[in-house]
Amino acid sequence: DDLDVEAHVHYFLGCLHGHLPAAFASLDSTRMTLVYFAVSGLDLIGALDRADRHAVVEWVYAQQVAPEGAQGLGGFRGGPAAGLELAEDGATPASPLDGPHLAMTYAALATLAILGDGLRRVEREAVLAGVRALQLPDGSFQGHADGEADVRFVFCAAAISALLGDSGRWHGLNRDAAVGRLVACVTYEGGFGMAPGQEAHGGTTYCALAALALLDALDALPCRAAAVRWCAGRQVGGFQGRANKEEDTCYSWWVGASLAILGEKRLILRAPTAAFTCACQYHKGGLSKYVGEPPDPLHSYFAICGLSLVGHEAVRDVEPTLGISARAWRAHTRTLLQLQADVALPPGARCAWLSPPSLRADTASALEVARWLRLALGSSISRLCVDSTALLTACAMAALAGAAGLIARGSRAAGAQPGS
């Protein structure tokens, strides 16, 4: 299970510089995802410092859709495929087909977070308005205006909310409707289909479970044991995406991360997962979906994420709900809090996108306080305390002391780490 880290560093750097086969030209309109795969891949194998951070950050911001040209709705496009000129902080749509896309917005925000940008130039309120405008009455989300709607985009909406510090406030989505839609996609086997009544699939199961976790709604899962059983049953050496399919490196992430979100990462068999993944390495860098196939950015990245889940020594820890390194997520949550402290506000005002809930003992929601404290302390989403006694105790202490702001400032000053 040896991983040729240096070869993969060169592969991901080549992806950033556009050194891809001609067949990838068809993906030009989704170039943002390729940038995300490369940047996050470099981060996970400890080589993020070898990327040109400034150049990547400026390119990502150039894909931001200026809200004044999109009916006040913001987000990110997948790339300059429409021929627009690059602008420092984004540009108005060049055509009706040049608007923001949920998956590209998620990839853009994740990339900026990994690079430590802090999202200071993101049009936050416009992005959240753009996300909410894509939610349908049944709780599902379209990827873009008049586009297809399925579980993938519910995940993107939930992840965007988390990355923008909107978790618990939900300005960008109707949480109850989204949770209801996700639950409706559970199949008789325990996995999730793309839509109600469809076959369970590893990718959509991950999207649904990660979205439920990000929405603090894993307890809405009808049968956790069935979900665990379905995911565990997908390991056939490596992991398969559906029953009776071949093993494929990307499912070590989709299904493995699903088990991690369910608290059952121990069920992933390390040796066969690592052996299959490393057998899919290409000698010049990158990983493929099957042994002997050519590499591609998606499978290269998710294969490395899968190795992180089994504790491969050459790969950093990954945050299973967001698909970025645990390091990046911890740093980003601290940055969100620092941004709130830095914003100049009128006396008595609070930053609307990241404020602690009311801490009056008679009105405070235990879950709202716990969400905010978890963010304030920089802890990983996936480590949500589910012990109701501990949760209520923490809430009561904060309510009685009225000290959430002091907790946040104190944890930053002390350099508190998750679990502190």
The per-residue pLDDT for 288 is 97
Across the range 386-408, mean pLDDT stands at 39
Across the range 17-34, mean pLDDT stands at 90
The per-residue pLDDT for 340 is 61
DSSP of 301-361: HHHHHHHHHTT-TTS--EETTTTEEHHHHHHHHHHHHHHHHHS---TT---TTS-PPP--T
Contacts of 100 (CB under 8 A, 6+ apart): 65, 70, 73, 74, 75, 76, 77, 127, 130, 144
Q: Which among 281, 257, 279 is positioned nearest to 268, based on CA atoms?
A: 257
Q: Take residue 47 and report the two structure tokens written for it.
A: 């080589």
The per-residue pLDDT for 70 is 63
pLDDT digits (tens, 9 = 90+) for 188-223: 999 999 999 999 999 999 999 999 999 999 999 999
Residue with tokens 């920089």: 378
Q: Which residue has the higher pLDDT, 96 or 343?
A: 96
pLDDT digits (tens, 9 = 90+) for 314-323: 999 999 999 9
Across the range 277-281, mean pLDDT stands at 97
Across the range 378-406, mean pLDDT stands at 39
Integer Cα distance of 400 and 183 in angstroms = 36
Single pTM value for the model: 0.83
The per-residue pLDDT for 389 is 36
The per-residue pLDDT for 68 is 72
Q: What angle (nearest 5°) sits at the alpha carbon of residue 36, between those of residues 33 and 37? A: 90
Contacts of 49 (CB under 8 A, 6+ apart): none
Contacts of 409 (CB under 8 A, 6+ apart): 341
Tell whether the model's pLDDT for residue 391 goes beyond 80: no
pLDDT-derived band at 230 (thresholds 50, 70, 90) equals very high
Across the range 376-399, mean pLDDT stands at 40
Q: Which residue has the higher pLDDT, 309 or 380?
A: 309
The per-residue pLDDT for 408 is 37
pLDDT digits (tens, 9 = 90+) for 109-145: 999 999 999 898 999 999 999 999 999 999 999 999 8
The per-residue pLDDT for 18 is 86
Positive/negative CA dihedral, 163, 105, 90, 130: negative
Percent of the chain with pLDDT over 90: 67
pLDDT digits (tens, 9 = 90+) for 32-77: 999 999 999 999 999 999 999 999 999 999 999 987 766 778 999 9
